[in-house]
Amino acid sequence: MSDQWIDLTDERQRFLISGTDRVRYLNGQITNDVRKCTPTSALAGCLCNAKGRIEAELSVTRDASDQALLVDGPVALGGDLLARLEKYLVSDDVEITDITHQSRLWHVPGPLPAGIPPTAARESRRLGIPGHDIWHRDGDAAIAPGGMMAPAERQRLRLLHGVPAWGAELLPGEVFPAEAGMDAWAVDFHKGCYVGQEVVSRIQSAGKVNRRLCLLQGTGSPPPVGTSLGLPDGKEPLAALTSVAQDGAGWLALAFLPRVLAVPETRLVIAGESDSLIYDLEVRNFLPSGSPS
């Protein structure tokens, strides 16, 4: 898998955050502890609103010189992402520079491919398994990417490991980190304050949310995204598929299920217009983070 590259250049906006207050400032915005990232590792985090709902998901690392932070987030957010990053700047010694068009970004699951400069690589779990982000900025030594992972395989791995995607599972201001399972890897509950922390921490203390992102497994050809789900003995839709992927002779999907149904082996159905059964599916456990397939 080490030669299965994923080109994130057109999917992710990229920013360089410099200044003596850069770590302290970003730490006051993001759910994870920026102090824990290094020039060789990246960490995931969320920008939340005051109600604790996700406004953006980010990956944060340090540049090779450890004089700046490198941040990437969904390109779909457009200028809203930079505006959110700058929103609480007052007299901080922080400069946020958009380097989207002066850089490239790849991800490679598994070991770091041979020939990649160590200063370009960051350990990262973008697909829920160990891998490496590879950054290239204008002026860096050239990087020749290997073969690209098929989009269908990337989607399958993402679903198996329960990684929510922006625009599918994650929409601005609609999802709590705990609902998407991101409290397990993108939230540090022992760091200092950040926007939305009170709500995020209260949810963690209560130990529950009303819905959870779940992995579903079905047979046959996959249904379309947006298809409604229900219980075998019920007629009311309870959830909708947010992402779907082919998996051998069957298929996988993600959906936000009510808490009482978000347990393995819960049986759900997708019924036709005349109540005829079209799909029979079950809730499954996400694969452990160390398992590749």
CATH number at residue 273: 2.40.30.110
**Domain assignment of residue 205, yes or no:** no
- Pair 114, 10 in one domain: yes
In this predicted structure, the answer to whether residue 173 has a pLDDT above a threshold of 80 is: yes
- Pair 14, 153 in one domain: yes
In this predicted structure, the answer to whether residue 159 has a pLDDT above a threshold of 70 is: yes
pLDDT-derived band at 1, boundaries 50, 70, 90: very low
Q: Which domain holds residue 82?
A: 6-160
- Pair 131, 33 in one domain: yes
Digit-coded pLDDT (tens) for 202-258: 999 988 899 999 999 998 888 999 998 888 877 778 899 999 999 998 999 999 999
Quote the pLDDT of residue 219: 86
How far is 197 from 201, CA to CA, in rounded Å?
A: 6
- Pair 55, 134 in one domain: yes
* CATH number of the domain that residue 65 is part of: 3.30.1360.120
**Domain assignment of residue 167, yes or no:** no
In this predicted structure, the answer to whether residue 2 has a pLDDT above a threshold of 60 is: no
pTM to 2 decimal places: 0.93
In this predicted structure, the answer to whether residue 293 has a pLDDT above a threshold of 60 is: no
**Domain assignment of residue 194, yes or no:** no
Nearest to 22 by CA among 59, 56, 67, 81: 67
**Domain assignment of residue 168, yes or no:** no
Quote the pLDDT of residue 278: 58
Which residues are CB-neighbours of 155 under 8 A, at least 6 positions away?
243, 245
- The amino acid sitting at 250 is G
Q: Could you give the number of structural domains in the chain?
A: 2
**Domain assignment of residue 184, yes or no:** no
